[in-house]
Amino acid sequence: MPKINLANLKVTAGRPYPMGPIVYENAVRFTIFSRHATRVWICLFEDTGDRAPVWEYEYDPQLHRTGDVWSIYVEGLREGALYKYRMDGPQTPKRFHRFNANNYLLDPYAKAFVGDIHDGTMKCVAVHDYIDWSRGHRPNTPMNQTIIYETHVRGITNHPTSGVEHRGTYRGLIEKIPYLKQLGITAVELLPIHEFGENLLGRCSLDGAIELTNYWGYSNIGFFAPAGRYAVSAVNREHLDEFREMVRDLHAADIEVILDVVFNHTSEGNAAGPTLSFRGIDNSIYYLLDAGGRYLNYSGCGNTVNCDHPLVRDFILDCLRYWVAVMHVDGFRFDLASILGRDQQGNVLEDAPLVRRIAEDPVLRDTKLIAEAWDAGGAYQVGSFGGIRWAEWNGRYRDDVRRYWRGDGGTRAAFASRITGSADIYEWAGRSPEHSINFVTAHDGYTLRDLVSYTEKHNWQNGEGNRDGSNENYSTNCGVEGPTDDPEINAERMRRQKNFIATLFTSIGVPMLLGGDEFGRTQRGNNNAYCQDNDVSWYDWSLVEKNAEIFDFTKKVIALRKAHPVFRRDHYFEGHGSAREADLIWFDVDGKAVDWLSKDLTLGCRVHAEHNGYVALCILFNPTRREVRFQVPMGTWKVVIDTGQPAPEDCPGDTSTRMRTRDVDVLPVSMVVLAEDTHKGGAGSPGT
């Protein structure tokens, strides 16, 4: 940290924009918003651990305030200066204000933080916005070619088996880039990397041996700042550079970076929570409050950000622009995005100004925008969130695909719609399959291995009496709860994992794979591991070799998706024309048209050759516990996927044998994908 020569400090008036600290060669301008504060102090600190400032300066409202913006220019300061604010004003919670001049406050626009939020030593760092991007490029992967890998910066490399030098860090993720390339990933979607205020949760795991932490990080306090805890070094500004190095190296590998952003609440929590920043700066502007000044809680985390207020909208837009323009990220996944569209009374707006503004912002124009289109207050907007610029986590895809493969009755029609892009959800609004982010598992819930190993959640280690987490997961344990040595049960679990992987990557839409599912990562039945910063959540890389069969299968299926244009189509099937000419036809096991009112669950479809690079496909699904024989369209076929077979027959590739038959056997709880053998005049060719 640069030492402060107090005798050299000179204060003059600043200017009211842009917000935050602006660093000059020998000065720093400090600019902050507060409408209702009556007094504002800037506080400078010498060292990270200092609890008292070495210098304070009170803004003069006559000289240093323009409208609601307070700004001064301090000569004699350099980059790396540590600072916080104090503010005074009305202390009337029933009138929505919570000012306290004794609180040191973090700057919402700070680009870096150092210190510990829990012991009161966290401070803002004044930094430049620079890095040399001249050697970098943006992949700009089209949405229909995108394959998302959802992961956690710390969790992916913090296990002792990770094999990286810098475990649990941005640089550790850099070391895993060759692995991601090998797998076929085009984008990483990172759980929150922003500085978050709530880390220690104040309780222990069930056995009392582990102090629980907010591992996921959905508790922001520094919306512009990458978290220092994920850096090799975070003494001053190094964590910014390490984050940018990660982005640059991922881009060099043609992998995009999508950030999970949390604009729906902050770590200040409810009225009993700490005053860290927003609450002490202007509580009535930043949060949704009822008529009595109480926090409205549509996030489930104690407070709700007032996203409909114009000043808060500006803050969010400034933040998004910063991550795109300065940090070069490629997109955002908005946690509990329905809150972005709630008005100041909490009502969900039909055409929310902030949602529309993000979509139309010129700086964000080329970024990927993905909404988790629901919130904890009951809003559910899958299929109707934000218009054509917004893609959505398709929660209905997850549920319908899980229920179908579990064998739930009456799910065949919904399953057919999900795997063909969910036209019933999106087409009515002029949207396309690219708006559907398809996923079977995500950080919030079971891993894929646990989805086929548990019927009940096992969240006791979270210290909440197993009350947290979803009670309905549409899962199956195949006969035994949890791990087993039974070879038949383990074989069925392997088939089921393959079914989900094969379904995901042969579905129309944008696939998202939960990190570690490709090699059987388990959370031991915990479906809400938000507080498990330990081997419950960390990726055990020894499983790549132990579960090589599912790992190799996943790689091959991703490669198959990339090889067949139909899986990347950006428009829906029409189904018009004769059975021979239609782009897609559905058929039952007897080869006849599907009776969608039937209770039968087996299902087949054929994609016309002209819609798949002149290679016809047949896909056959059998979620039942009996072997079935499908009659498929006549042609010369080869098997490219058979989840009922062990490796390497499960995805045989070029070794697949040709067959000219209409009868194809599909084993219980499995699926088969057939590709036309174009070397022998296959289906769809003249005369067949």
At residue 437, the 3 state secondary structure works out as: strand
Preceding amide of 648 cis, omega within 30: yes
Residues with a catalytic annotation lie at: 335, 372
Nearest residue to 539 via CA among 456, 474, 454, 443: 443
What mean pLDDT do residues 130-151 have? 90
At residue 420, the 3 state secondary structure works out as: strand
Nearest residue to 152 via CA among 178, 185, 189: 189
Tell me what pLDDT residue 135 has: 74
Tell me what pLDDT residue 607 has: 94
CATH 2.60.40.10 in the chain, residue ranges: 6-125
| 405 and 496 Cβ atoms separated by less than 8 Å | yes
Preceding amide of 160 cis, omega within 30: no
Reply yes or no on whether the pLDDT at 28 is more than 80. Answer: yes
What mean pLDDT do residues 465-481 have? 96
The contacts of residue 89 (CB under 8 Å, 6+ apart) are 34, 36, 37, 38, 39, 97, 99
Reply yes or no on whether the pLDDT at 616 is more than 50. Answer: yes
Reply yes or no on whether the pLDDT at 366 is more than 60. Answer: yes
The contacts of residue 248 (CB under 8 Å, 6+ apart) are 131, 133, 135, 136, 328
- Tens of pLDDT, residue by residue over 230-283, are 999 888 788 999 999 999 999 999 999 999 999 999 999 999 999 999 999 999
Band of the pLDDT at 635, cuts 50, 70, 90?
A: confident
| 603 and 415 Cβ atoms separated by less than 8 Å | yes
- Tens of pLDDT, residue by residue over 57-97, are 999 999 999 999 999 999 999 999 999 999 999 887 666 89
- The answer to which of 211-225, 356-370, 554-568, 656-670 has the lowest mean pLDDT is 656-670
Q: What share of the chain is helix, strand, coil (3-state, %, to 5)?
A: 25, 20, 50
Quote the CATH superfamily of domain 6-125: Immunoglobulins (2.60.40.10)
Tell me what pLDDT residue 683 has: 41
- Tens of pLDDT, residue by residue over 155-183, are 999 999 999 999 999 999 999 999 999 99
Tokens matching residue 356 = 């529309």
Please state, for a pLDDT cut of 90, what percent of the chain lies above it: 86
Amino acid residing at 667: L
Tell me what pLDDT residue 680 has: 52
Give the residue, 632 or 581, on which the prediction is more confident: 632
Tell me what pLDDT residue 251 has: 97
Tell me what pLDDT residue 688 has: 31
Tell me what pLDDT residue 685 has: 35
Q: Please state the pTM of the whole predicted model.
A: 0.96
CATH 2.60.40.1180 in the chain, residue ranges: 573-680
The CATH number of the domain covering residues in 573-680:
2.60.40.1180
Band of the pLDDT at 389, cuts 50, 70, 90?
A: very high
| 579 and 605 Cβ atoms separated by less than 8 Å | no
Q: What is the mean pLDDT of the chain?
A: 94
